[in-house]
Amino acid sequence: MMLLSVLLILLVLISLWAVMTPLLLRAAIGLAATSALLTMIMYQLGAPLAAVFELSVCAGLISVVFVSVVSLTHRLPLKEFMKRRQSRIKRFIFLPLLLVAALAIMLTIKLPFQLQLPAADKISDVRVMLWNIRRIDLFGQIMALLAGVYGVLILFRGRKTDGD
Amino acid sequence: MILEFSFRFDQFSIFIASSIAIFTLLIGLYALIFMKGNRASGQFLVYFFLNCFFAIGAVLANNLILLLFFWESLLLTMFGMIMVGGRESYKTAIKAFIIIGITDLCMMVGIALTGQLAGTFTMSAISVSTAGLGGFAFIMLMIGALAKAGAMPFHTWIPDAASDAPLPFMALIPGALEKLIGIYFLTRVSLELFKIEPASWASLLLMIVGAVTIIFAVLMALIQKDFKKLLSYHAISQVGYMVLGIGTALPVGIIGGLFHMINNALYKSCLFLTGGAVEKEAGTTDLTKLGGLAWQMPVTFACFVVAALSISGVPPFNGFFSKELVYDGALERGWIFYAVAVAGSFFTAASFLKLGHAAFLGRSDTKSKEAPWPMLLPMVVIAAACIIFGVYNTLPIDRIIAPILGSHALEGHKFSGLPANMFLVLMTLIVLAGAVLNHLYGVKKSGKAIGAADHIHYAPVMHSLYDRAEKKIFDPYEIGMKLANVAARILYGIDRFVDWFYEVFTVRIVLLFTSLIKWAHSGNISTYVIWSLVGSIAVLVMAWR
Amino acid sequence: MTYLLLFIPFAILILINLFPREKRTEPAFWLGLAVLVFQAGAVVASQFGYWGTILTSQLESVFGFNLQLYKMGHVLVMASALAGATALLVARATLKNKRDRFNFVGLLLVSLIGINGIAMVTDIFTLYIFIEVTALATFILIMLNREQAAFEGAFKYLIMSVVATVLMLAAVSLFILIGGGTSFLDVKMAVISDPLAYTALLLFLCGLFIKGGMVPFHGWLPDAYSSAPTAVSVWLAGIVTKASGIYALIRLMVIFGGLEPLQNIMLTVGAASIVIGALAALGQKELKRLLAYSSISQMGYIVIALGSGTVLGIFAALFHFFNHTLFKATLFANVAAVEEQTGTQEMEKLGGLAQKMPITGLTSAIASLSTAGLPPLSGFWSKLLIIIALWISGHYFFAAVAVLASVVTLAYFLLLQRQAFFGLVPAALKEVREAGPILLIPAVFLSLLIVVIGLVFPFMIQMVLR
């Protein structure tokens, strides 16, 4: 439980950082970190399948696509960047309020957070599960990987040809 | 409620329907000549005979809805006939249309209420009391009937029509036909549908309307200086006698009223026809320009004399007998009604002495010849009928009118023959003699026939009243139009507001929201993410509430 | 055999990449079109019994929860075939770069696999995976022309998608935690018995709202639609958003439609989307942006129909789903034609195009009126059914919102028509001519379908509803 709580708090903090940072690259890293943390949480909660998928698609591919997009953008001049940084505070002025409101709502609803980790026999061998029960999911995952690869290829190659 | 569209053929309806047919035939013959050369004569004749059809339908209908259909159709043909009168006649046509239209609307309300109260629309099966809502229904129906008959205060379009509409229209519609069906329906309503009692308020109301109509219309008639216009005011005034007679709710009064109705139809159409002949031959109906026509148009003159004596109530013409019956009934209900009726008789006689004197006697300025025979024939036939209905009054009263009431209502009385009350006859003769003396005095005072009524016209109080009446201050239509003007302005304002509401206000509000939404979509991805988070929280709250 | 719908596009995808690099664009186009024709043919054939024993029995086992609605997957497959064919033709006419055209076909096939997967899922995790496949392919499609605005649009879609992914994955892990399984049946059992699973379901729905672009989860949608190449917009608006968001919602509401809080959420979100989408569309100056907001509004109609919680409501939602593909694909094809011929899609610079481009003008008028719900076009019937469903289930207020918003719909489409297709021709556009047949064929075909379905529907409704 302790580990889970720490992970959850970390998740919130890192995702906040990802949202608030003025640099896209940092945001991308934040996103990847968030995904990675989520994977860990999922594994902790006994959903290895979702964890695997989250790691492969979100932490891996989407981040790659993300970074590749970012690399295609221009860098802001320093002056402009500082200005954005200043105005960032203004843009997130309501964020603490929102967080407090969300917390208050969570507490008032009183969700039954009695998480019980499933029994050990329920977590069967990941490989067996993937291949025997989740064949179609595996196919989908392959497709997702394919799309990601496709995208990275197109974008980076496009960048090269743009330079020509 | 099943609507059965049935007709009724009883003594009364057959009598009125056949009268309508005969009058239409005679006046139609006259119209063929009179309208010759008029561009719209074909159109006029179509309306004319359609009008006859609708009128007969209205009289024979035994169902109030069916009656209403024919009744409203009459409005259209009437409008059409006034419209063909000339370039300026549309104003009068619209005036008539609005007055009759509104009163017809009242009648529609009355019919709906009556049907609701009685549970049926079949006239022969309806019997409603005048208490409460029934009283309202009665007044509504009465308004419809009285307006059709041309009683005050729904009369004001008739004098206007006299100068604008074609003359056969005047002879047939306000002169004869509308009286017939208006009084017919009034009789049906008051004696059959509601069965008013002599002591009831409904009876009193009818009598007041009748008396007021008699005296005011005849006073207006007295000062007219136009042949047709003078006749048109008499057409209104005479309705008063009928309404008064029926309003008494006594057998003698009712029979007098109905007899007066048919008599009036006869002599009034005859008078209008002579007026038409004068207009056709002399080219004008202005009394200041006419004169001495008696020698140039002897037949017309003879017919005019017969009809004028009838309307003045001189024995032994028909008008005398019917008026005596009405007087009898009125006296029984109250001396004031009798006094008003007799006064009306006095002024009627005075105005016809003036009219006859000015138009047919005296010096002749114009060269005119006698009218052609198709115009003379109806006049002569109708004038003869005036004499026959007077001398042999047993024929119409005992054979036609008395059976309408049924023998038990008559209680063994006999109303035909010479009047029973010799006091009334004496009074009538004195009044007529007074009218002759008054005429002679007036002619002598003003020096010419047309001024015979000037001493009444310019009498101290009368003068100002007449001036106002001439300016149409008392005309409910004009008052209504002024009110309508105010209402129209208010409605225009409301309309502008509604227009503004839809075309400006709504559009502005929508555009305001649109620009707000556009402003909110700043393109900032963090804003959008926050929206989604807020949305997710809202979804959770909604589901867990 | 159901897997054919997944494997044939996959096989073609590999096949087109085997051609030599210089000559592969043309075969790719035709093979892609062939896949879509096969897909449409499979649906049509299954309706007429040919293939029926194989395909239908398979589909029945797949959609076997509610036999009344087991054909709902067909609607999605058919709609994706129509939108895909339109997108392919538009891409052929508008994408200038040969390699872009080839990549377009490839990515279209990938996302088609995702959509076909969505059409036949029985498992909430599988659903999520195929949604993700579709979304990934679509990010790249949006960025296909490598313009700055397109990057921005794709980036927004990406960010919002990640939020959705997090929500959905969290939900899936909760389902696994509670129920032990992720098939729809397991999930249903879990949701009925456990409040936490219920919360998880709500999170999953929020994810779908983001994917479907419902207000207030819609931030990414107008930018993505308007910045993408028009061919991609056709694909995106015609099917992708709806398949990954709305269809999944329909699929879930078939199972959970009886839960009243869910109905209320659907009604509220639907009404908000209808109103805000329509009002925002009224203020737009670009054709594609206007159509994007119009899409939000129309998706709102589908979702509000789901909120009625009746079988009629779900049928109406599916019907409107299909109709929306027809008229939105037509309108985007028209925008492609206008942009191709005039070089702009800003309404202020356009005018009088109905004289210069009569067929484009006519088809856009038909599609607009169908969107606004004018009889006898197909859009009228679906909107009517939606309103009837809402009225019958007693949601009078929402029925009134639906009716009033369709007035606003008519308003912004009339604005579009007046500014772009009627009025005076600006001096700059004197030489404009009608677009080529490649752009006209899909527009004409789809608007014919709109009219024919509209005319035939009254006769079919008894049969369909039985």
Domain-located, residue A57: yes
3-class secondary-structure state, position B226: strand
Chain B contact set for A103 (CB, 8 A):
none
Q: Please tell me which of the candidates A38, A118, A139 has its beta carbon nearest to residue C166.
A: A38
Q: How far is C191 from chain A (nearest CA, A)?
A: 14
Domain-located, residue A133: no
Domain-located, residue B349: yes
- Are residues B155 and B270 located together in one domain of the fold? no
Are B544 and A101 an interchain contact pair (Cβ–Cβ within 8 Å)?
Answer: no
Domain-located, residue B469: no
Q: How far is C157 from chain A (nearest CA, A)?
A: 11
DSSP codes, C256-297: HTT-HHHHHHHHHHHHHHHHHHHHHHHT--BHHHHHHHHHHH
Q: How far is A77 from chain C (nearest CA, A)?
A: 17
- Are residues B55 and B164 located together in one domain of the fold? yes
- Are residues B74 and B109 located together in one domain of the fold? yes
How far apart are alpha carbons C363 and C350 in whole angstroms? 17
ipTM of the complex model: 0.83
- What is the pLDDT at residue C60? 43
What is the mean pLDDT of the segment spanning A58-64? 66
Chain B contact set for C167 (CB, 8 A):
536
Percent of chain B at pLDDT > 70 equals 87
- What is the pLDDT at residue C445? 93
- Are residues B432 and B509 located together in one domain of the fold? no
Are C202 and B521 an interchain contact pair (Cβ–Cβ within 8 Å)?
Answer: no
- Are residues B238 and B368 located together in one domain of the fold? yes
For tokens 């379901």, name the residue. C201
The most distant pair of C-alpha atoms in chain A lies apart, rounded to whole Å, by 60
The answer to whether residue B509 neighbours chain C at the CB level (below 8 Å) is: no
Partners of chain B (3+ Cβ pairs below 8 A): A, C
Give the torsion through C-alpha atoms of B215, B216, B217, B222, to 10 deg.
Answer: 80
Nearest CA in chain B to A95: B530
Q: Please tell me which of the candidates B510, B515, B529 has its beta carbon nearest to residue C159.
A: B529
Sign of CA dihedral C75, C81, C84, C89: negative
User: Tens of pLDDT along chain C (466 residues)?
Assistant: 466 777 888 888 888 888 887 888 888 889 888 988 888 887 777 665 433 444 444 444 433 333 333 567 788 888 999 999 999 999 998 888 888 888 899 999 999 999 988 888 878 888 888 898 898 889 888 888 778 788 888 888 888 888 888 888 888 878 877 776 777 888 888 888 888 888 889 999 999 999 998 988 888 898 899 889 989 999 999 899 988 889 999 888 888 877 888 888 999 999 999 999 998 888 888 889 999 999 999 999 999 999 888 888 888 888 899 999 999 999 999 999 988 888 888 888 888 788 888 888 899 999 999 998 888 888 888 898 899 889 888 889 999 999 888 888 888 888 888 888 887 888 777 777 888 888 899 999 999 999 988 888 877 766 555 5
Domain-located, residue A65: yes
Are B530 and A94 an interchain contact pair (Cβ–Cβ within 8 Å)?
Answer: yes
Chain B contact set for A105 (CB, 8 A):
537, 540-541
Average pLDDT over chain B, rounded to an integer: 77
Interface test mutation site (partner C, options A11, A136, A141, max chain C beta carbons within 10 A): A136
Q: Please tell me which of the candidates C156, C216, C280 has its beta carbon nearest to residue B525.
A: C156
Chain C contact set for A159 (CB, 8 A):
146
Interface test mutation site (partner C, options A41, A143, A145, max chain C beta carbons within 10 A): A143
Query: How many folded domains does chain A comprise?
Result: 1
Q: Which domain holds residue A87?
A: 2-72+81-112
The answer to whether residue C133 neighbours chain A at the CB level (below 8 Å) is: yes
- What is the pLDDT at residue C66? 32
Answer yes or no: is pLDDT of A124 > 60.
no
Q: Which of residues 25-64 of A touch C (CB under 8 A)?
A: 31, 34, 38, 41-42, 45-47, 49-51, 53-54, 57-58, 61-62
- What is the pLDDT at residue C90? 92
Q: How far is A65 from chain C (nearest CA, A)?
A: 9
Answer yes or no: is pLDDT of A100 > 80.
yes
Chain A contact set for B530 (CB, 8 A):
94-95, 98
In which region does residue A22 sit, left (phi positive, over 0), alpha (psi from -120 to 50) or beta (all else)?
Answer: alpha
- What is the pLDDT at residue C304? 92
Q: How far is B535 from chain A (nearest CA, A)?
A: 11
The answer to whether residue A144 neighbours chain C at the CB level (below 8 Å) is: yes
Partners of chain C (3+ Cβ pairs below 8 A): A, B
Residue C26: DSSP 8-state: H
Element (H, E) at B232: helix B227-247
Which amino acid, B431? Answer: V
Q: Which two tokens stand for residue B135?
A: 């009283």
Are B531 and C217 an interchain contact pair (Cβ–Cβ within 8 Å)?
Answer: yes
Whether residue C343 contacts residue C427, with contact meaning beta carbons closer than 8 Å, is answered with no
| Least confident segment among B188-197, B412-421, B530-539, C116-125 | B412-421
Report pLDDT digits (tens) over B146-156: 887 777 777 77
Q: Please tell me which of the candidates A91, A98, A111 has its beta carbon nearest to residue B533.
A: A98
How far apart are alpha carbons C315 and B123 in whole angstroms? 57
How far apart are alpha carbons C103 and A154 in whole angstroms? 8
Report pLDDT digits (tens) over B36-75: 777 777 777 888 888 888 888 888 888 888 888 888 888 8
Peptide bond into C9 cis (omega under 30): no
- Are residues B237 and B381 located together in one domain of the fold? yes
Q: Which domain holds residue B287?
A: 224-462
Nearest CA in chain C to A47: C173
Chain A contact set for B540 (CB, 8 A):
105, 109
- Are residues B139 and B247 located together in one domain of the fold? no
What is the mean pLDDT of the segment spanning B159-186? 74
- What is the pLDDT at residue C51? 38
3-class secondary-structure state, position B127: coil
**Distances from the Cα of B87 to the Cαs of B82, B102, B165, B230, C134, in angstroms?**
10, 25, 10, 23, 80
Whether residue B310 contacts residue B317, with contact meaning beta carbons closer than 8 Å, is answered with yes
| Least confident segment among A53-62, B424-433, C61-70 | C61-70
Of A113 and C279, more confident: C279
The answer to whether residue B461 neighbours chain C at the CB level (below 8 Å) is: no
Interface test mutation site (partner B, options A66, A91, A94, A110, max chain B beta carbons within 10 A): A91
Q: Which residues contact A106 (CB under 8 A, 6 or more apart)?
A: none
B interface residues, A as partner, C-beta within 8 Å: 524, 526-527, 529-530, 533-534, 537, 540-541, 544
How far apart are alpha carbons A41 and A18 in whole angstroms? 18
Burial of B165 (0-12, 13-18, 19+ CB in 10 A): buried
- What is the pLDDT at residue A158? 57
Answer yes or no: is pLDDT of A1 > 60.
yes
- Are residues B266 and B333 located together in one domain of the fold? yes
3-class secondary-structure state, position B180: helix
Report pLDDT digits (tens) over B85-99: 777 777 777 777 888
Whether residue B209 contacts residue B146, with contact meaning beta carbons closer than 8 Å, is answered with yes
- What is the pLDDT at residue A164? 38
How far apart are alpha carbons C284 and C293 in whole angstroms? 9
Are B532 and C206 an interchain contact pair (Cβ–Cβ within 8 Å)?
Answer: yes
Are C110 and A154 an interchain contact pair (Cβ–Cβ within 8 Å)?
Answer: no
Average pLDDT over chain A, rounded to an integer: 71
The answer to whether residue C169 neighbours chain A at the CB level (below 8 Å) is: yes
Long-range pairs for B495-499: beta carbons < 8 A, 24 or more residues apart: none
Angle (CA) B351 B353 B358, round 5° = 95
Nearest CA in chain A to C129: A140
Answer yes or no: is pLDDT of B403 > 80.
no
How far apart are alpha carbons C139 and C157 in whole angstroms? 7
Query: How many folded domains does chain B comprise?
Result: 3
- Are residues B455 and B487 located together in one domain of the fold? no
Interhelix angle C148-179/A63-72, nearest 10 degrees: 170
For tokens 């129209």, name the residue. B488
- What is the pLDDT at residue B31? 78
Domain-located, residue B310: yes
Whether residue B352 contacts residue B311, with contact meaning beta carbons closer than 8 Å, is answered with yes
How far apart are alpha carbons B21 and B265 in whole angstroms? 13
Domain-located, residue B215: no
The answer to whether residue A103 neighbours chain C at the CB level (below 8 Å) is: no
Domain-located, residue B472: no
Interface test mutation site (partner B, options A15, A19, A87, max chain B beta carbons within 10 A): A19
Q: Supply the pTM of this predicted model.
A: 0.62
Interface test mutation site (partner C, options B503, B525, B545, max chain C beta carbons within 10 A): B525
Report pLDDT digits (tens) over B407-422: 555 665 666 666 667 7
- What is the pLDDT at residue C62? 37
Whether residue C130 contacts residue C142, with contact meaning beta carbons closer than 8 Å, is answered with no
Report pLDDT digits (tens) over B350-390: 888 877 777 777 766 666 677 777 777 878 888 888 788 77
